[in-house]
Structure 1
Amino acid sequence: MRKYLAVAAVLICAFATPVVAEDLEFLLVNNSSSALTGFYVSAASSEHWEENLLEGSILASNYEVTVVIADGLSTCIYDIRGVFQDGDVVEDLALDLCELGEYTFTD
């Protein structure tokens, strides 16, 4: 009996693969009438926003950019925050970025 348990344990270890977080990628589209000056993405479980992904640049109205989230986390659920040149702030919570594909800001 012990021999079979040992063989089973070896087989389980041989086929076990580490969980590797994949980068998340989606298209960010600004279809609003104001330039996007700040874009923040944080895991929904976090209490704080991560750094501004547009730091030092803007996403003008009617432009788009590919966003890659390579934070090493194994979650798909994130919160996003957009800050606009006209002072508006938009937050969208608990988005599934693994399924998103595209996120569009509008007026």
Structure 2
Amino acid sequence: MKTNLLGGLVALALVAGIAPAAAQTVEFTVINNSSYDLHYFYTTPSNQDSWGEDLLGETGILAAGYQATATIGDGSDQCLYDFKFVMDNGAELIEPQIDICSLNSYTIND
């Protein structure tokens, strides 16, 4: 699959993400295998009730069929995070308790 970073998106900087217990930087690939462009990507520690900022920013879009590298390095020792994806058709996908500490890639499907 080709790598394409649209809308000035160089990489997904996951400020509200996590790092493993050693507070290392974690990178994984986000693959948009859906039929829709990804317009918003939010994360939150699974033990919190509110979503963080949109990780794609105001102009960031991850087009259908493309992928990007997500980098997490906020110093947190949390591994379980919830993800919220909002597609260009308004559909929302919420994935709870994703273990980022052992994640190599995450694929969004229809």
What's 2:24 paired with? 22
Between structure 1 and structure 2, the one with the greater Rg is 1
Q: Which runs of 4+ in 1 moved over 2 A?
A: none
- Is 1:57–2:65 an aligned residue pair? no
Q: Alignment partner for residue 85 of structure 2, among 76, 82, 86?
A: 82
In structure 1, C-alpha distance between the alignment counterparts of 2:54 and 2:109, rounded to whole Å: 20
Amino-acid identity (%) = 37
- Is 1:100–2:100 an aligned residue pair? no
What's 2:70 paired with? 67
**AA matched with 1:33:** S
- Is 1:42–2:39 an aligned residue pair? no
User: Any idea what SS the aligned residue of 2:55 has?
Assistant: coil
**AA matched with 2:73:** A
**AA matched with 1:50:** G
Which range moved further: 38-47 or 59-68? 38-47
Name the structure with the higher helix share.
Answer: 1
User: Any idea what SS the aligned residue of 1:62 has?
Assistant: coil
Q: Specify every segment of 5 or more residues in structure 2 that has no aligned partner in the other structure, as ranges.
A: 1-20
What's 1:5 paired with? none
User: Any idea what SS the aligned residue of 2:78 has?
Assistant: coil
Count of paired positions:
89
**Alignment root-mean-square deviation, CA:** 1.2
**AA matched with 2:69:** T
> Deviation digits for residues 24-72 of structure 1, max 9, x if unmatched?
2110000100000001111111111111111121000000000011221
What TM-score results when the alignment is normalised by the length of structure 2? 0.76
